[in-house]
């Protein structure tokens, strides 16, 4: 319903039928955020009384990784920059990497004395990568953005802890492991003010 371009017409039809049937038959429906809960009620006609929010939490393997893989080891293994922000997300268009690359250009132009870089994790085979590639070329940011591809879960804590902050500029999130994990690990976090993300960043959380 939100991103039909990511699905075939047959997939959309099947999901509409199966999700609607499942929702109507279920005694209770669990949503990952209030945003998703409200979406289910509004778009699927589910009774509000049987749709419950159970917030997503962190993957314990990420937290355990901090005990076995240090920031220094991460810097050596991945060639991490001295000053960087981390964005751990797959390269889907709605993840908004290209806009972040543009922001990186503005930041570096305004504060030229600080060698601030971005670190991306995620598979470059997804549909959003060519758009990111063009942004890197357009804004001459290729040497200031490090793309690590897939990173083992147990290494993620070190990447968060080594960063000056985590950034999540996505235009759509049902919830966000990255925002939750970063805050758990003491990494300052900045994110978009859309969909479920404000629920994760209430008050002065980020």
pLDDT in tens, 51-74: 999 999 989 999 999 999 999 999
What CA–CA distance (Å, rounded) separates 38 from 180? Answer: 21
Residue 86 has pLDDT above 90, yes or no: yes
What would the DSSP string read from start to end of 127-152? TTHHHHHHHHHHTT-GGGEEE-----
What angle, rounded to 10 degrees, do the helices at 129-138 and 97-110 form? Answer: 20
Residue 205: per-residue pLDDT:
74
Is the distance from CB of 96 to CB of 120 less than 8 angstroms? no
Tokens for 130, please give them.
Answer: 């060519």
Q: What proportion of the chain, given as a percentage, has pLDDT over 90?
A: 91
Mean pLDDT of all residues in 44-50: 95
User: How far is residue 42's CA from residue 51's CA, in Å, rounded to a whole number?
Assistant: 11
Count of alpha carbons within 13 Å of 204, Cβ hemisphere only?
0
Task: Give the lowest-confidence range in 2-16, 141-155, 160-174.
Answer: 2-16
- Evaluated on CA atoms 62, 66, 67, 68, the torsion sign reads positive
110 vs 205: CA distance, rounded Å: 26
Express each pLDDT in 117-136 by its tens digit. 999 999 999 989 999 999 99
Phi and psi torsions of 162, nearest 5°: -80, -15
By C-alpha distance, which of 108, 138, 135 is closest to 120?
135
CA–CA dist 192, 89 (Å, integer): 14
Q: Is 118 exposed, middle or buried (0-12, 13-18, 19+ CB in 10 A)?
A: buried
- CA dihedral of residues 148, 195, 198, 24 (deg, nearest 10): -110
CB 178 within 8 A of CB 88: yes
Task: Please give the pLDDT value at position 60.
Answer: 93
DSSP H helical segments within 45-142, as ranges? 60-65, 71-78, 97-110, 129-138
């Amino acid at each position: 319903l939100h991103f039909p371009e990511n699905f075939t017409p047959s997939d959309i039809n099947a999901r509409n039928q199966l999700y609607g049937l499942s929702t109507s038959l279920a005694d209770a429906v669990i949503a990952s955020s209030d945003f998703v809960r409200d979406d289910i009620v509004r778009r699927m006609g589910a009774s509000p009384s049987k749709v419950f929010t159970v917030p997503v939490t962190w993957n314990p393997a990420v937290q355990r990784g901090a005990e076995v893989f240090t920031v220094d080891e991460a810097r050596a293994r991945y060639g991490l920059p001295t000053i960087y922000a981390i964005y751990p997300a797959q390269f889907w268009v709605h993840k908004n990497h290209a806009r972040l690359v543009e922001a990186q250009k503005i930041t570096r132009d305004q504060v030229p004395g600080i060698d601030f870089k971005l670190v991306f994790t995620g598979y470059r085979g997804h549909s959003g990568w060519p758009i990111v590639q063009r942004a890197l070329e357009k804004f001459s940011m290729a040497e200031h953005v490090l793309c690590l591809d897939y990173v083992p879960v147990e290494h993620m804590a070190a990447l968060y802890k080594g960063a000056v902050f985590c950034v999540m500029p996505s235009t759509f999130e049902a919830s966000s492991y990255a925002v939750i994990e970063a805050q758990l690990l003491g990494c300052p976090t900045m994110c978009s003010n859309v969909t479920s993300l404000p629920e994760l960043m209430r008050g002065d959380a980020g």
